[in-house]
Amino acid sequence: MPRRTRLLLAALALTTSPAEAQDTQLWLNTTLFGSHGRFAYFAEVQPRFGGDIARLDQFILRPAVGWKLDDDLTIYQGYARVENTPAGMPGFSEDRSFQQLSWEIGTYEKFKLSSRTRFEQRWQSDGRDTGFRFREMLRASHPIFDEAGGLKALGWSEVFVALNDTDWGARAGFDQIRTFVGLEIPIQDKSQGKSTFEIGYLNQTVNAPAAPVEVNHILSLNLFLRY
């Protein structure tokens, strides 16, 4: 095949290959944390708006109960109910059971590090299979000023890996990655840094089955109430 023809076919393949799908979104989250002795719990409410923030795409309720193994390690058993309303498609719901390990790693050179490891069992209303998914988050914060419990720069990244194929569309392998940069603002009991508000940019890159890679640009607003 002549070189010019090969170059023409290569250019044609590039112009006809699937491009990244992109969306601007707004994710809201309110989480209540509490503990009594070694017993711990949390509950989350998360509405997520997509379609350039024009519609409610997803709504999540996620409670969990846990046990503090020590001052730094807490294990949880939780449940999530997820209602999905994708544009131009029938809505569907998802139920999740999950186990979680939260670890306060420590502070190094003023960087406070923590991690969250979560294993999920997922059931969707449009299929019969159980999907298994592993999630790992690493989070770091750093005070902007020297004042303890004050304003902090915040960043975290979370990787999702599907462990099996399902009849409702999950495919084993890399599922998505979320990366956040923003600010952590104390709003209560400043000396201990309990309740906080987090605001920032969240990038979500999703490896959707049989579809272009989806990249979402998200304004993320999070209220964490700790008791």
pLDDT higher than 70, residue 215: yes
Cβ atoms of 180 and 161 within 8 Å: the answer is no
pLDDT, mean over the chain:
90
pLDDT higher than 90, residue 17: no
What is residue 11's predicted lDDT score, i.e. its pLDDT?
44
In terms of pLDDT, which residue wins out, 209 or 178? 178
What is residue 20's predicted lDDT score, i.e. its pLDDT?
66
CATH number of 3-226: 2.40.160
pLDDT higher than 60, residue 149: yes
- Which span out of 3-12, 62-71, 148-157 was modeled with the highest average pLDDT? 62-71
DSSP string covering 40-106:
EEEEEEEEEEETTTTEEEEEEEEEEEEEESSSSEEEEEEEEEEEE--TTS--EEEEEEEEEEEEEEE
Q: Provide mean pLDDT across the span 72-93.
A: 94
pLDDT higher than 60, residue 34: yes
User: pTM for the full model?
Assistant: 0.88
Q: How confident is the model at residue 10 (pLDDT cuts 50, 70, 90)?
A: very low
